[in-house]
Every structure is written in structure tokens, then in C-alpha cells.
Amino acid sequence: MDKTSIHGMWSSRMMFVLAAAGSAVGLGNIWRFPYLASDNGGGAFVLVYLGCIAVVGLPILIAEVLIGRHGRMSPINTLRKITRDQGSSRGWVGIGWLGIAAGILILSFYSVVGGWTLHYAWLYLKQLLGGAPLGDPALVFQSLLSNPLELTFWHAVFMLLTTAVVALGVEKGLERAVRYLMPALLVLLLLLVVYGFTTGRMADAATFLFRPDFSRINGGVLLSAMGQAFFTLSLGMATMMTYGAYLPRDGISIPRVVTVVALTDTSIALLAGLAIFPIVIAFGLDPAGGGPGLIFNSLPLAFKAMPFGTVYGLLFFGLLAIAAWTSSISLLEPGTAYLAEKRGLQRRKGSALLLAGISWVIGLLSVLSLNVWSDVKVPAGINVLGGKNIMDIVEFLANDLMLPLGGLLIALFAGWVLSRTVLREQLSEMPEWLFNTLRWTLRIVAPLLVLVVLVQVVS
Ligand code: TRP
């Protein structure tokens, strides 16, 4: 087994945890989780989501990281190497291709939404420097969405920021971005939760989020909850496999470090929920059906009402943009690492730029689907796709189908293809019973659960 990766290594266990948590914590926690909970009936969705994290997400997260650490290359070449060593089918390399494709697709709309957060940070900055206060939040958000040039501009800025870090490589680029900024975001989120208490509506928010109404659970809710579990942990597209390739071997227990990552990620999503829903309720908005505009329509109301709200708004959206940034780099890294292996390491910059360019162009479809093409929709009620616009469809394909499918294949690969010896060697710190439980979860339980959810949606 190689001790190091040619792309560089995390300088410590702590750096891996920060980078992996930086990848996991992003728009998925603060933008997507609250609005999915809002659209899918609150508590029932949250419960299924937490179940998916524990039973499916965590085992697959361990699998991805250990496959990466064993192979030490980009996902495609890691899988090539392992299938060659073990004499198994080359077809498994498809997981790497699927992952890179999913990454480019996800990045395409992730960058558009990342651009929204930059735009909001900019609005608050202007206001702080003496500009007119923001108007009615719903109108502000609507006017952003209806302006394709503005959206395209911020989408481009966000994509360039992402490309710059990935071009610089592991030590110089990825590590620097995460060291201080993640803790700052956490502090700000905690302050928002405290503000939530002052509105007097915390209890209502908690009821909405944590009291499950089981009659609300249907196929669509199950699929969104599972897709979100994969999305929020950056699973199913070999991001974590790539980050695992840069993880040092000695004395670092994968299950232990990734559990920290998963707990951090889950806590931040729940905190975001507890920060946002009291505000939504206190300002008379409907907690149900908030849609993708939820945080943009609700939080500015609180920033208007609280002392120093403008500073707060700037900090919040600025840090959210940064959290999104430390995630978006992990969407671009797997493909870039592969191209750099293929074309020569000195061509990392060009490789990052090429893939980001492709993703940016695909993102223009999402931009246009918010305004010029907002009427282009699948007719309502046909199937799961009914009523979706282009951006929704890209999201659905990538998040709800490709990620779970990728995760399913990764679980099967780790459980059935990877030899028990390799698996054991990577998980040498685990007690035997836990190791066996994990192995059978990867072999049977996780794939079966994913399959059941996927099949009942298609049928
Ligand atoms: N997990 C990130 C978020 O919650 C998004 C993300 C980064 C991602 N890398 C990924 C999602 C890989 C799926 C796969 O915002």
C-alpha cells in the first residue's frame, strides 16, 4: 500500500477532519436541509433523514474514505488499481466515472446558489457602507432570480473562487480555506439560535422539526431524505474517496474521524433548523412549503429587526458563502485529480479550469430556468418529475438518483469486492464484532435500503 498520494497529503488528522467537515458542511446544511424539512412535512422528514445518516450514510462514509486511503489516487485510478490487484471486474471503475459526472452536475447548480449567497453578502456590505436598507426580502429575492445577468455574474465569481483553490492543490489550497472559517460560522449560527429564543417561538420551531407526523411519509419524502443524507455528507460521488486518498495511515482510525465529521455535519444542519424556523414562525411566514427561497426570504426579516442586523447579515451570508466554497472545491477535486494524473501533475491548474468551465456552462441552464425559461416545466402530476423546472431536474438526477446509486455501488464494492484482508487492515482499530457488523451493513443492509427507496420511486 502506498503511504502517500502524489497529489499531496493532509498535514494532520485534524486537517482531514476540518477538510472533510468543510466539504460536508455547506449549502446542504444551511440552505437545503431547512427548506426540504419545510417542504416535506417537518418532523417526519427529519426522522427519516437522521435514520439514513446513521444506517446508510455513516457506513458508506467509512467505506469511501478507506477505499481512498488504500488506493491513494483519484477515484478512477484507485478503482482501476484495486480491481487489477484483486482480479475483479473493471466495470467497478464506472463508480469513479459516475462520481466525477455527478460532481460536475452538482457543482453546476451549487455554484449558482453559492452565487446567491455572495450576492446577499454584497447587498449587506453595500448597506453597511451607507447604502439604502434592503427592501421586502421576498421582493429582493425575486428580483435576484429574475435577473439572468446578475445570477450569471455571481455564478461566475463563485466558480472562479472554487477553481482557484482546487488549482492550488491540497496543502496550499484546500487546507488554508477551512482552518478558521468553519468555527466562525458555527459561532454565528449559535448566536442565531439564541436570537431564535428571544422571538419566543423556539418551542413551535422544535415541534415542527422534531414531532414526526407519520402520515406525511411517502415515497417522495423517503427519497428526498435519503438524497439529502448523501448530499449533506458529500457521499456517493467519490469526494470522500478522494479526501481519503490524502489521509495519512499511521494511527488514524477512519471510523473515529469520520464519526466526528458526520456528527458535526448533522449538528450544524439541526442548528440551522433551530435558527431559521423560529424566525420563520415569528415573522408570520408559513413553516411549510418554503422552497429554495426559505432562508433568503426569512433571515433578512430578522436581520432587519435585530440590533446590528446589517453587520450580522454581512457576516452570515459571507460565512455561508465560505462554507459553500469549502464544499464546492470538493466537488471539483475528484475530476481534477483524475485529469492531473492523466495529463501530468503540472497541468492541475488547466484541468481544474477545464472542468469548472464545463460545470459553469451547465449551470447556465439552471440560471435560465429561474427566469427566461421559468415556464419550461414537466407537466404536473406525471411522476416524480412532475412540476419540476430544469434546475430541479438537474438536482433530482444528481442528488436523488446518482448519489444514492453511487453510494449503493460503493457499499457493494467495499463489502463484496474488496478483500476482507484489505478492509480489516484499513479498519485495524475496530473491535471484531463492530467490524463484522459494518461489513454486513455494507454487504446487505445499506444496499438493500437504498435499493428499496430507489425502486419504490421508479415504480
Ligand atoms: N455536502 C455539501 C453540502 O452539504 C455539498 C457537497 C460537497 C457534496 N461535495 C459533495 C454533495 C459531494 C455530494 C457529493 O453543502
Pocket test for ligand 1, best of 60, 111, 231 (most atoms within 8 A of CB): 231
First-to-last alpha carbon distance for the chain, in angstroms, is 44
- Expressed in angstroms and rounded, the spacing between residue 236 Cα and the centre of ligand 1 is 10
Question: How many Å apart are CA 221 and CA 443, to the nearest integer?
Answer: 25
Distance of alpha carbon 123 from the chain centroid: 25
Q: What is the pLDDT of residues 214-263, one digit of tens each?
A: 998 988 899 999 999 999 999 999 999 999 999 999 889 999 999 999 99
- Expressed in angstroms and rounded, the spacing between residue 406 Cα and the centre of ligand 1 is 14
Atom of ligand 1 nearest to the CA of 324: 15
- Expressed in angstroms and rounded, the spacing between residue 239 Cα and the centre of ligand 1 is 8
- Expressed in angstroms and rounded, the spacing between residue 369 Cα and the centre of ligand 1 is 22
What was the pLDDT predicted at 177? 65
Which residue owns the Cα nearest ligand 1 atom 6?
234
Three-state SS at 248: coil
Which residue owns the Cα nearest ligand 1 atom 13?
234
Atom of ligand 1 nearest to the CA of 265: 4
Q: What is the pLDDT of residues 118-147, one digit of tens each?
A: 999 999 999 999 999 999 999 999 999 999
Which residue owns the Cα nearest ligand 1 atom 8?
234
Q: Is the dihedral of CA 329, 25, 32, 445 positive or negative?
A: positive
Atom of ligand 1 nearest to the CA of 23: 7
Which residue owns the Cα nearest ligand 1 atom 14?
234
- Expressed in angstroms and rounded, the spacing between residue 252 Cα and the centre of ligand 1 is 23
What was the pLDDT predicted at 442? 98
- Expressed in angstroms and rounded, the spacing between residue 31 Cα and the centre of ligand 1 is 12
Atom of ligand 1 nearest to the CA of 233: 1
CATH 1.20.1740 describes domain 13-458: yes
Pocket test for ligand 1, best of 232, 329, 401 (most atoms within 8 A of CB): 232
Pocket of ligand 1 (CB under 6 A): 23-24, 26-29, 106, 231-232, 234, 237, 239, 327, 330-331, 403
2: its cell numbers: 502506498
C-alpha distances (whole Å) from 272 to each of 76, 178, 206, 307 are 35, 19, 12, 20
Pocket test for ligand 1, best of 330, 355, 400 (most atoms within 8 A of CB): 330
What was the pLDDT predicted at 2? 76
Which residue owns the Cα nearest ligand 1 atom 7?
327
Atom of ligand 1 nearest to the CA of 237: 14
Distance of alpha carbon 133 from the chain centroid: 32
Closest CA to 53 of 262, 196, 306, 256: 262
- Expressed in angstroms and rounded, the spacing between residue 135 Cα and the centre of ligand 1 is 32
Would residue 289 be called left, alpha or beta, if left means φ above 0 and alpha means ψ between -120 and 50 degrees? left
DSSP percent split of the chain into helix, strand, coil, nearest 5: 80, 0, 20
Three-state SS at 237: coil
What was the pLDDT predicted at 379? 87
Which residue owns the Cα nearest ligand 1 atom 10?
234
- Expressed in angstroms and rounded, the spacing between residue 106 Cα and the centre of ligand 1 is 8
What was the pLDDT predicted at 220? 87
Q: What does the domain layout of the chain look like in residue ranges? A: 13-458
Q: Is residue 206 a contact partner of residue 274, using CB atoms and an 8 Å limit?
A: yes
- DSSP secondary structure of 96-137: HHHHHHHHHHHHHHHHHHHHHHHHHHHHHHHHHTTPPPP--H
- Expressed in angstroms and rounded, the spacing between residue 435 Cα and the centre of ligand 1 is 27
Amino acid at the residue 212: P
How many other C-beta atoms lie within 10 A of the C-beta of residue 425?
13
C-alpha distances (whole Å) from 149 to each of 18, 227, 370, 393 are 35, 31, 12, 22
Atom of ligand 1 nearest to the CA of 230: 13
Q: Which residues, other chains included, contact 135 with Cβ-Cβ below 8 Å and sequence gap of 6+? A: none
Q: Is the dihedral of CA 118, 353, 401, 391 positive or negative?
A: positive
Question: How many Å apart are CA 404 and CA 236, to the nearest integer?
Answer: 6
- Expressed in angstroms and rounded, the spacing between residue 199 Cα and the centre of ligand 1 is 32
- Expressed in angstroms and rounded, the spacing between residue 64 Cα and the centre of ligand 1 is 14
What was the pLDDT predicted at 114? 98
Which residues of the chain fall short of a pLDDT of 50?
Answer: none
pTM of the model: 0.95
- Expressed in angstroms and rounded, the spacing between residue 310 Cα and the centre of ligand 1 is 29
Q: Is the dihedral of CA 288, 290, 294, 299 positive or negative?
A: negative
Atom of ligand 1 nearest to the CA of 327: 7
- Expressed in angstroms and rounded, the spacing between residue 108 Cα and the centre of ligand 1 is 12
Question: How many Å apart are CA 60 and CA 67, to the nearest integer?
Answer: 10
